[in-house]
Chains A and B, each alone.
Chain A
Amino acid sequence: MAWEEIATDRTGNAAPLLDLTFDSGTLLTLRGEVRACAIQSGFPEDRAGDVVLAIHELAANAIVHDGGAGRLRIWKLTRALQCQVDDGDLMRSREAETGRGGVGGIRPSSASSPASVNPLPSEKGHGLWMARQLADQVRTLSGLHGTSVLIAFDLSR
């Protein structure tokens, strides 16, 4: 399925199934929410596990390499589950632009310090690599203000 179709589909049905901000202290909760979302959308256990793993890896990337926090949104479209992970830099620049804080859901806990995550010297590319193995489509959007990764899982499989 082309991304153009997904984009059009999304504008017609824009409300996300899930919209939350995350940091190292809320990764476990994020996984639980994503799994529930995937099961609710009709994925069997093993495919739901793939959705959780792929999104977790992107979220962990955002935490370890791009600002300590991020935002996840999941949309259920006609033929795919589409997920977008925005990194912390992107989140902060948008907040600065709009003057608003984070959206509903879990707020990044300012109490969790960078030291609470002890990242291995793993390469930034590994998370994206894992997403590419698991998802049906992957796209990254990098701009001056940060990075978004979009991945889609076909519902028909």
Chain B
Amino acid sequence: MTRVPDAGFPVEIVAGVPVVTTCEEIDVTNAARLRAVLLEAAARSHGTLVIDMSRTQFCDTSGIHALVSAHKRAQAEHGEVLLVINTATVRRIFAITRLDQVIPHFESLEQALEAAW
């Protein structure tokens, strides 16, 4: 069976900011798990959260929904979600769904962490 590899979504605190690293493929088989991880991380950090998608090669609309949920939760806590995106496929779905105009995004983790301050 070729499931999406369950690498999980590790959370690390870097310079005081939680950084969630997403795996290579995000789709309906793991998007709910991603959403749960993101909401928990946002709750713990009073809203501000970096999501590092630099390893992600594919993300579908269920993944987008998870990110939107995190974004809304962060806003409710007066924080924000900052994304790291540097693959063409992820940029593409962000552009089509206009999420690139809603959530701040950066080419590198360093840039995102700078913005978190």
- List chain A positions with a Cβ less than 8 A from chain B: 24-29, 31, 45-46, 49-50, 52-53, 56-57, 60, 63-64, 109, 111-112, 116-120, 122, 126-127, 130, 133-134
A-B CB contacts (within 8 Å), total count: 72
Number of interface residues of B (CB under 8 A): 23
Closest residue of A by beta carbon distance from B32: A118
Given contacts A45-B88, A120-B35, contact A25 B66 (CB under 8 A): no
Docked-complex contact B62 and A120, CB < 8 angstroms: yes
Instruction: Tell me if B58 is interfacial: C-beta within 8 Å of chain A.
Output: yes
Give the distance in Å from the alpha carbon of A27 to the alpha carbon of B30 in the complex: 12
Closest residue of A by beta carbon distance from B96: A133
Docked-complex contact A116 and B58, CB < 8 angstroms: no
Instruction: Tell me if B101 is interfacial: C-beta within 8 Å of chain A.
Output: no
Give the distance in Å from the alpha carbon of A28 to the alpha carbon of B61 in the complex: 15
Instruction: Tell me if B100 is interfacial: C-beta within 8 Å of chain A.
Output: no
Give the distance in Å from the alpha carbon of A116 to the alpha carbon of B3 in the complex: 10
Q: Smallest Cβ distance from A36 to chain B, in angstroms?
A: 14
Instruction: Tell me if B31 is interfacial: C-beta within 8 Å of chain A.
Output: yes
Lowest 7 CB-CB distances: which A-B pairs, in order? A118-B32, A25-B1, A29-B2, A60-B28, A126-B61, A120-B65, A49-B89
Docked-complex contact A28 and B25, CB < 8 angstroms: yes
21 interchain pairs, CB-CB under 8 A: A25-B2, A28-B4, A28-B25, A28-B27, A45-B88, A52-B58, A56-B58, A57-B60, A57-B61, A60-B27, A60-B28, A109-B1, A111-B1, A112-B1, A118-B31, A118-B33, A119-B32, A119-B62, A120-B31, A120-B62, A130-B61
